[in-house]
């Protein structure tokens, strides 16, 4: 506790000095998601001193950890107790931290079936742009006292403050897990994923890539067994399945990692977030679909405006994840009214513009 | 703003005249006999007469009403069915109560994507009824679901008895659309699973009508489980019942519902609905499993094992749907049943870590003696969300005073045990003082800053949720008078 308090004091002092001196800070976790958003700017503010799980009792289904705690360490602790982070945060590389996971707000293959990272966030402490240490939410499942500030931090890319500690809801690991696969084209796969989602099935992930639909079932033994009989398909060996989902979750599959030469030639990795019912978008790009159809990854050299236009027409938005040139902006922009709210909230939390300037939008 | 009281008539005429230019006359109520029905919500102990009540029918009318109120600086209090339990819809004496009762259409049920688009005045249960032909339902089920509206659920981030497994309103809403205080149209969330920019949906859901007026909601529908069965387990003491709750979860089971009722509560509920409760038990647990027939059979067996090992003195598993509904009927009617044995009751709503349940129940028992009032307890035990019902007579000022102190002490104890002053009913006006205990001045200032970001003129539901510095200072003084410190030393994380 003493160690954490001293680290917190140093951090708040550093923030106050930066605010007074008109300095910009770049909040640093493990740097594993540096590529994802806009380029960082400002003086690095490392959180390596702010580590450790502060409380964890499996029967409470909550874990609280300081921001600099390595994500893999937290996940190992949960696994030891038969629990997990059900939203499967992507890790991209070893070395990621709990704070970075929250700031990026990304959710893995289970998204469409268990919810997103934000859904599992219960509370946080953060240092605002005035150097004040604040607490919002808590360690309990149900809490409507005041505005739900901690959940806004999910996916905020650190622009509102330094996330110091978070409490996250965790769940027991499924008793049984099986992965099955089917050969089919995109139209069939999308229709199939939709149809299954509307039934009481123990779905936990879905993916379509290279004319193969892969589905993970997880839950009670009996539920998985019954679903297997109902759905058919060919079963994957547990190790093969585990490798497959991990390659998708952490983007270690070559699909997600265009080579230097490919990037130089203009290939970009796009993430499209779309209404689940969106029909196949015939764009001529190599595509990987997950979340029952709601998340689609494209490798494309098409101009950014075109990709964003297609996504917006379908009722969604597109993120430029990997590219040699990100001048088109990593993230799509909300409409004017919501963008104005983004700006006003940024000013409310960080009036001097100390934190992670430009990480979400170049002008925010 | 805030003209003197004798100007109220003049102000009313001014506002009515301005509203009459954008609304049909029949949609504007201002005579006392017409507005009296709007004087309170489900927290009937608090009442105020609104300056004007409007009942718009179209979106354009709502935008116009907001623009008029913004121009004249008139507070606006949006209102659904008025079933809220914290006074969130309590009218403002100088304000317009904006009833969304006429926005009661289900716009679209899309069984393929498991979503429904509904207007905010649609009743919670009406969504599930409309989705039923497709084998789908809307999962959050607050006890008032027969009457409460989805707009009210969004405002309060309502829960229900099944939210341990299926989540709160926030977890089941994809998108909301409406207007800011100045009449500007806004949309939060998306038909996709996320939207660009900061995620503002969790700010708006649960904001008690203070950030925006919501007219349309896209909700997620859930496939109806094939089967649900419920265990009623009796315990000879509340400690074992509390421990059983933790044991069930520790075994890796997430029940569809996990509720605890103490003996006084079961007696009251049993007399009201004849649910078949074990009246000899010090506490009963209702523990529900849902899913496929195989899954439920497997889970009920595991639950029974844990509950027995935790010292359950009697276990009864629902044989059929009728009996399961009967088990729940007592729980769902806990509030009206309590209303039947006491002139009034005050329902508290704090949440604590599950492991402190027994300790909390003992503390509440001691408080009941101290304040000389009866209290019956019903808990969403799986979530650690408590609903102690303090029984009193509101016509007796002395009882009312003791009841308020009793309630405040429960909330303070909840914060001390690592919990929160409201789990699902909201702060409204009822828990303003308790917010001083849970949040520091800097934290409360951030709430005000968020409010200003959405509503710079401070016109949407002013005076609710966030206590002013002055109010907290007064409340703090009151604590010192009672020989207690306002818990300044407590870690609140």
Average pLDDT in the B327-335 region?
A: 91
Q: Which positions 337-396 of B are in contact with A (Cβ < 8 Å)? A: 351-355, 380, 383-385
> What is the distance between the alpha carbons of residues A252 and A246, in angstroms, rounded to a whole number?
8
What pLDDT score was predicted for residue A244?
97
Average pLDDT in the B249-266 region?
A: 94
Burial per residue of B155-168, b for 16 or more beta-carbon CB atoms within 10 angstroms, e otherwise:
bbbbbbbbbbbbbb
Q: How far A266 CA sits from the closest chain B CA (Å)?
A: 24
Percent of chain B clearing pLDDT 70 (strictly above): 96
For the stretch B187-204, pLDDT in tens is 999 999 999 999 999 999
DSSP collapsed to 3 states, A113-127:
HHCCHHHHEEEEEEE
Q: What is the mean pLDDT of chain A?
A: 96
Residue B6 has pLDDT above 80, yes or no: no
ipTM for this prediction:
0.97
Residue B4 has pLDDT above 70, yes or no: no
Residues 6+ away with beta carbon under 8 Å from A68? A29, A46, A47, A48, A49, A50, A51, A97, A98, A99
Residue of chain A whose Cα is closest to the Cα of B350: A143
Residues of B in contact with A195 (CB under 8 A): 112
User: In Å, how far are A95, A152, B354, B383, B415 from A342, measured between CA atoms?
Assistant: 30, 11, 36, 32, 31
Does A332 sit within 8 Å of B196, measured CB to CB?
yes
pTM of full prediction above 0.90: yes
What pLDDT score was predicted for residue B490?
39
For the stretch B111-157, pLDDT in tens is 999 999 999 999 999 999 999 999 999 999 998 999 999 999 999 99
**pLDDT band of B478, cuts 50, 70, 90:** low
Average pLDDT in the A267-288 region?
A: 95
Does B384 sit within 8 Å of A141, measured CB to CB?
yes
Residue B284 contacts residue B234 (beta carbons within 8 Å): yes
> What is the distance between the alpha carbons of residues A278 and B117, in angstroms, rounded to a whole number?
17
Residue B356 has pLDDT above 70, yes or no: yes
Does B180 sit within 8 Å of A144, measured CB to CB?
no
Residues of B in contact with A159 (CB under 8 A): 198
Residue B75 has pLDDT above 90, yes or no: yes
Residue B186 contacts residue B178 (beta carbons within 8 Å): yes
A19, burial (CB in 10 Å: exposed 0-12, middle 13-18, buried 19+): buried
**How many inter-chain contacts (A to B, CB under 8 Å) are there?**
268
For the stretch A228-268, pLDDT in tens is 999 999 999 999 999 999 999 999 999 999 999 999 999 99
Cβ atoms within 10 Å of A261's Cβ, excluding its own = 8
């Amino acid at each position: 506790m003493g160690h954490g308090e001293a680290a917190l004091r140093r951090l708040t002092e550093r923030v106050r000095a930066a605010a007074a001196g008109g300095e910009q800070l770049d909040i640093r976790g493990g740097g594993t998601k540096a590529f994802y958003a806009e380029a960082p700017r400002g003086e690095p503010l490392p959180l390596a001193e702010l580590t450790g799980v502060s409380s964890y009792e499996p029967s409470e289904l909550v874990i609280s950890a300081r921001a600099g705690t390595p994500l893999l360490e937290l996940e190992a602790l949960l696994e030891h107790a038969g629990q997990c982070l059900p939203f499967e945060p992507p890790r991209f590389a070893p070395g990621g931290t709990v704070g970075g996971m929250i700031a990026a707000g990304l959710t893995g293959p289970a998204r469409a079936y268990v919810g997103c990272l934000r859904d599992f966030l219960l509370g946080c402490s953060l240092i605002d742009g005035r150097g004040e240490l604040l607490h919002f939410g808590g360690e309990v499942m149900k809490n409507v006292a005041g505005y739900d500030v901690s959940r806004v931090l999910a996916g905020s890319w650190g622009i509102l403050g330094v996330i110091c500690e978070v409490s996250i809801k965790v769940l027991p690991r499924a008793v049984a897990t099986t992965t099955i696969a089917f050969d089919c084209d995109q139209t069939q796969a999308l229709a199939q994923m939709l149809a299954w989602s509307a039934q009481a099935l123990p779905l936990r992930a879905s993916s379509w890539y290279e004319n193969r639909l892969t589905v993970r079932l997880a839950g009670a033994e009996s539920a998985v067994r019954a679903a297997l009989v109902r759905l058919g398909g060919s079963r994957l060996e547990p190790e093969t399945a585990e490798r497959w989902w991990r390659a998708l979750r952490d983007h270690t599959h070559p699909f997600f990692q265009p080579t230097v030469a490919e990037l130089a030639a203009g290939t970009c990795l796009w993430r499209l977030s779309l209404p689940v019912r969106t029909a196949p978008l015939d764009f001529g790009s190599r595509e990987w679909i997950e979340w029952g159809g709601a998340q689609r990854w494209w490798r494309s050299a098409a101009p950014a405006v075109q990709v964003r236009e297609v996504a917006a027409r379908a009722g969604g938005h597109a993120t430029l994840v990997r590219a040699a040139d990100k001048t088109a902006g990593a993230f799509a922009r909300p409409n004017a009214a919501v963008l104005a709210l983004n700006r006003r909230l940024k000013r409310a939390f960080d009036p001097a513009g100390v934190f992670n300037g430009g990480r979400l939008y170049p002008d925010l | 703003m805030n003209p003197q009281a004798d100007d109220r008539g003049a102000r009313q005429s001014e506002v009515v005249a301005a509203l009459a230019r954008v609304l049909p006359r029949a949609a504007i109520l201002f005579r006392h006999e017409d507005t009296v029905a709007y004087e309170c919500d489900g927290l009937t102990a608090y009442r105020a007469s609104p300056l004007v009540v409007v009942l718009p029918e179209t979106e354009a009318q709502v935008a116009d009403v907001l623009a008029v109120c913004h121009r004249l600086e008139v507070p606006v209090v949006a209102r659904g069915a008025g079933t809220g339990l914290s006074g969130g819809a309590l009218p403002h004496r100088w304000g317009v109560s904006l009833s969304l009762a006429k926005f009661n259409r289900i716009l679209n049920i899309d069984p393929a994507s498991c979503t429904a688009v509904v207007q905010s005045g649609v009743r919670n249960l009406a969504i599930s009824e409309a989705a039923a032909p497709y084998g789908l339902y809307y999962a959050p089920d607050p006890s008032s679901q027969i009457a409460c509206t989805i707009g009210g659920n969004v405002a309060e981030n309502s829960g229900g008895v099944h939210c341990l497994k299926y989540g709160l309103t926030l977890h089941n809403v994809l998108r909301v659309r409406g207007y800011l205080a100045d009449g500007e149209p806004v949309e939060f969330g998306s038909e996709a699973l996320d939207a660009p920019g900061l995620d503002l949906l969790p700010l708006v859901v649960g904001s008690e009508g203070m950030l925006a007026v919501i007219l349309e909601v896209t909700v997620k529908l859930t496939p109806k489980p094939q089967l649900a069965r419920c265990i009623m387990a009796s315990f000879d003491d509340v400690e074992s019942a509390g421990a059983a709750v933790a044991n069930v979860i520790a075994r890796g089971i997430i029940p569809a519902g996990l509720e605890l009722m103490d003996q006084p509560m079961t007696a009251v509920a049993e007399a009201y609905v004849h649910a078949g409760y074990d009246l000899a038990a010090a506490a009963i647990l209702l523990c529900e499993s849902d899913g496929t027939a195989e899954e439920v059979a497997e889970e009920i067996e595991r639950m029974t094992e844990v509950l027995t090992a935790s010292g359950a003195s009697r276990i009864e598993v629902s044989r059929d749907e009728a009996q399961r509904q009967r088990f729940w009927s007592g729980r769902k009617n806990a509030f009206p049943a309590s209303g039947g044995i006491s002139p009034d009751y005050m329902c508290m709503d704090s949440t604590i870590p599950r492991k402190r349940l027994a300790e909390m129940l003992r503390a509440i028992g001691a408080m009941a003696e101290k304040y000389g009032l009866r209290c019956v307890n019903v808990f969403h035990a799986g979530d650690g969300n408590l609903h102690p019902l303090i029984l009193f007579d509101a016509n007796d000022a002395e009882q009312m005073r003791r009841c308020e102190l009793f309630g405040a002490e429960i909330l303070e104890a909840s914060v001390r045990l690592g919990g929160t002053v409201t789990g699902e009913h909201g702060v409204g006006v009822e828990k303003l003082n308790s917010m001083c205990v849970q949040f520091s001045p800097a934290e409360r200032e951030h709430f005000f800053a968020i409010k200003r970001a959405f509503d710079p003129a401070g016109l949407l539901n002013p005076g609710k949720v966030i206590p002013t510095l002055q109010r907290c200072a007064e409340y703090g003084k009151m604590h010192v008078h009672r020989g207690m410190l306002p818990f300044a030393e407590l870690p609140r994380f």
